[in-house]
Structure 1
Amino acid sequence: MKPSITPLISLPMEFLYSLYALGTDKGFVEMIRAFGLEPSAEMTDMLQKMKKPLSRYIEQETTYFFDAGGLGFILYKYIVHNPALNKVNEIIELVQKDDSDKFLSKIMDSVCKNTLPAKESPEYKAIFGDRAKLLQLVNETKFQDESRKTRVIETVQNPEEIKQRFALLLGRFYAAAFEPVEAEILKSIDTAKSKYDAILKETPELFMSRYLNTDSLKNHPAGYILHLSLFKYVSCHAYSSYQDHVKDWFVLGIYTDQLFNESALAERQAHFFKVLSDVNRISMIRLLSERPWFGQELAEALNISPPTVSYHIGFLQQIGAVSFKRIDNRIYYELDRDKLLKPLQDYLKSF
């Protein structure tokens, strides 16, 4: 039985990725260029149009929460667990309704996933009632980006203030930047959607292998949601709900098909070695050669942020070296040795 994959255009998920695109600023463009692509004129115009009405304060807050060291990606937790809510304001209301302790727990669950006690255990509840213990836990956690650690500490010390700032940012960014271009964003995604829908329907195995980077996507009791994204732009990222009754998500950039344009053998080989010419990616391959790892584990083992893990995994997926695998309600990354070794073997045969 093939896995159930439901194509969906999720405005809240697109809202999240638009925040990331503007929050990282030049980093977003560099990410696209690292895949050997240039941002389209449509994307460049869209970013400028969205940035123009933002106040200096909201620009600063967008950077604070959504640059490489930011904590804003916890917004995905609200989205993944509430797939029926497809209006951005509905998700923003969920954030606003969360009390500061729940908001803080979402951040700590993301940052210290492997060092926190089991969720809902007496030890877990006790640590969230003790700011000193939480600060100690943060200080014992490795951070590659000191600004990220600083922001986690600020949240532990002032959870209500940080939550209010985050909620204010979401509301103001939506009203000033996202909502005015919402129809344009939907049109761009919808134009690309028919192409990907056709491939998924006609050749699902090819779609999963090429675009979702998995040859063995196991049946998830609730199934999977596939969101096509303008602001993800290129490559694919997976989000696990960690629950059997809630769907897992794939977010696929609408320009990902450009990665599979036919090119000369020499160019493909050059790109293959370029992908491997990064210390973090080599380290990931070494770890994944031992066993499958999930994103937070890799982040902690390599002392980098989860968004940075996603960034580098995207390149390894592009050359087919890494695929997704669902184990125990989590999305794991798994090394595909055959696809990693074949380009090396072909390269050697050419001599």
Structure 2
Amino acid sequence: MIEQQQQLLEFGYCEPLEFIAALSMAAKKDFMLEFGREMGIALDEEATNMLEGMIGRLSRHVKREMNLLFGKSTLYDRLDAGLYNVFFGGEEAATTKEWFERYRNWDALDLVYMLLEAVYESAGIDWLDGRDAASVRTDAQLLPLLAAAHPLPDAELHAELLDCARYPEEFRHRTVLLLESFWTHAFLPERERLAAFGEEGARKYEALFAADPEQSFARIARIDPKLVTKRTRVHVSYISQVCMFFNAVDWRGDACSWMSLGYFNDALERRQEDKDMTEKFLKVIADKRRLDLLELLKTRNHYAGELAQLMALTPAAINYHTNLLIDLGLIRITKADGRIYYELDADRLSMLMDQTKRMLLN
């Protein structure tokens, strides 16, 4: 069954989605870097340099607009929510230029509504007062009244949102200028590299999903494969590094879903496995008896009876401790002179110690 769902996946690179991701990442760079450090997820050096280059080529005005309209959250809770909604709100835009045209022609009031909806939802505020969303998003008089009646904890942000609600055409014009400036000065110089990384990542994940779809859904996409019930485009994003995003959309009868995966999602799983292994390693060597056992095996191989005698433990206790060390790969079983010996794997011990050092200090 999972193999059938895997066959519905179409791996590739979608430039408009990468453009939105790059704009969002650039707007939130410092926050994203700090959040990544806290979560043990670091951007690789090339991606960091790429983002810094993008930001460095932008004017101060554009950077102020980005700071206001994107905020500092890992969620899509401001302009980025609307940008994605516009992309998913029609037939697939094959190029960023096509997506730009769709955005320019989108109803300005609806763009403002999507911004307000994202901000208030993130703040946990019911700003519609029980009204139907479909009616509010088309009411130019009601929209600013509802925004005014529901202040946000951030008074400056609330004042800016009120301006957007009162002057929707101006808001659309501002955001179009922002998109065009970011495209020209920030994205275009990195366009070819981002496409190359995305296409390379798509080939990598296509092979991984073909080889082991069950593990790939669980560890790379981290979604229930049952969600994949129709053709699903999979965009692989280098600039996002690590992301799991699924969206089901219907385009005039052409049913299709979208999934975005980060270029390093597979590495995230390995980092998590490394973290779990490090935790297990620290727990195992925290016991003095197991440290003594490793100390004895450092000098030469021993059989169980010797270890029991030298450590004044019962054979059952020796068996318990050695099994824990065998499970970690720190010792292995060998046979000589008709006896079963335990042998220290010094290379494995050194690797686990280095891994622990990297995790704790880097």
TM-score of Structure 1 vs Structure 2, range by shorter chain = 0.5 to 0.7
The secondary structure found in structure 2 opposite 1:220 is coil
**What SS does structure 1 have at the residue aligned with 2:239?**
coil
How high is the TM-score relative to the length of structure 1?
0.66
Q: Match of 2:88?
A: 80
Tell me which structure has the larger Cα radius of gyration: 2
Cα contact 2:218–2:224 (8 A) shared by 1: yes
Contact 2:81 2:114 in 1 (8 A): no
1:30 corresponding residue in structure 2: 34
Identity of counterpart residues, as a percentage? 21
**Cα deviations by residue, 1:96-131 (Å, 9 ceiling, x for unpaired):** 1123223234335545677464455xxx16x73352
Per the TM alignment, residue 141 of structure 1 is displaced from its structure 2 partner at its CA by 5.6
Change (3 A) 1:135 1:50: same
Shift of residue 148, structure 1, vs aligned partner: 4.9
Which amino acid letter does the alignment assign opposite residue 101 of structure 1? L
Is structure 2 residue 261 aligned with structure 1 residue 252?
Answer: yes
Distance of aligned partners of 1:254 and 1:145 in 2 relative to their CA distance in 1, 3 Å threshold: farther
In structure 2, do the counterparts of structure 1 residues 148 and 230 end up closer, same or farther at CA, with 3 Å as the change threshold? Answer: farther
Counterpart secondary structure, 2:43: coil
Within 5 A, what are the aligned runs for 1:1-16?
Answer: 2-3=4-5, 4-16=8-20
Contact conserved, 1:229 with 1:254, CA < 8 A, in 2? yes
Asked if structure 1 preserves the Cα contact closer than 8 Å seen for 2:194 and 2:239, the reply is no
Letter in 2 for 1:215: D
Offset of 1:228 from its aligned partner? 0.8
**Is the partner of 2:229 in helix, strand or coil?**
coil
Give yes or no for the alignment of 1:230 onto 2:238: yes
Q: How many residues were matched structurally?
A: 264
1:175-224: CA deviations, max 9, x gaps? Answer: 11101210011112223322211111222121111122223423434x32
Greater percentage in helix: 2
2:177 to 168, 173, 187: 168
CA contact 2:81–2:115 (8 Å) conserved in 1: no
User: 1:182 maps to what in 2?
Assistant: 191
Q: Which consecutive residues of structure 2, in runs of 5 or more, have no partner in the other structure? A: 282-362
> SS state of the match for residue 21, structure 1?
helix
Contact 2:58-2:182 within 8 A present in 1 as well: yes
The residue aligned with 2:338 is none
Partner in structure 2 of residue 134 of structure 1: 143
Q: For residue 209 of structure 1, what is the amino acid of its counterpart?
A: A
Contact 2:109 2:140 (C-alpha < 8 Å) held by counterparts: no
Partner of 1:194: 203
Call closer, same or farther: CA 1:53–1:211 in 2, change over 3 Å.
Answer: same
Shift in alpha-carbon separation, 1:58–1:216, aligned structure 2, 3 A = same
The match for 2:320 is: none
Is 1:267 matched up with 2:275? no
Structure 1: runs of 5 or more not aligned = 271-351
2:358 counterpart residue number: none
| Amino acid of the structure 2 residue aligned with 1:263 | D
Cα-to-partner distance string for 1:230-269 (whole Å, 9 max, x where unaligned): 1221131223437774423221111111222242646357
Q: Distance in 1 between matches of 2:31 and 2:11?
A: 28
Equivalent residues of 2:104, 2:176 under 8 A apart: yes
Is the 8 Å Cα contact of residues 225 and 249 (structure 1) preserved in structure 2? yes
Change (3 A) 1:138 1:175: same
1:119-146, Cα deviation, whole Å (9 max, x unpaired): 55xxx16x73352x32343356685655
User: What does 1:1-351 correspond to in 2, within 5 Å?
Assistant: 2-3=4-5, 4-68=8-72, 70-82=78-90, 84-108=92-116, 110-111=118-119, 115=128, 117-118=131-132, 120=134, 124=135, 128-131=138-141, 133-138=142-147, 148-221=157-230, 223-241=231-249, 245-261=254-270, 262-263=273-274, 265=276, 267-268=278-279
Normalised by the length of structure 2, the TM-score is 0.64
Matched-pair contact (CA < 8 Å) for 1:16–1:73: no
The separation in 2 between residues aligned to 1:180 and 1:188, in whole angstroms, is 14
Partner of 2:351: none
Q: Please, what is the CA RMSD of the aligned residues? A: 2.9
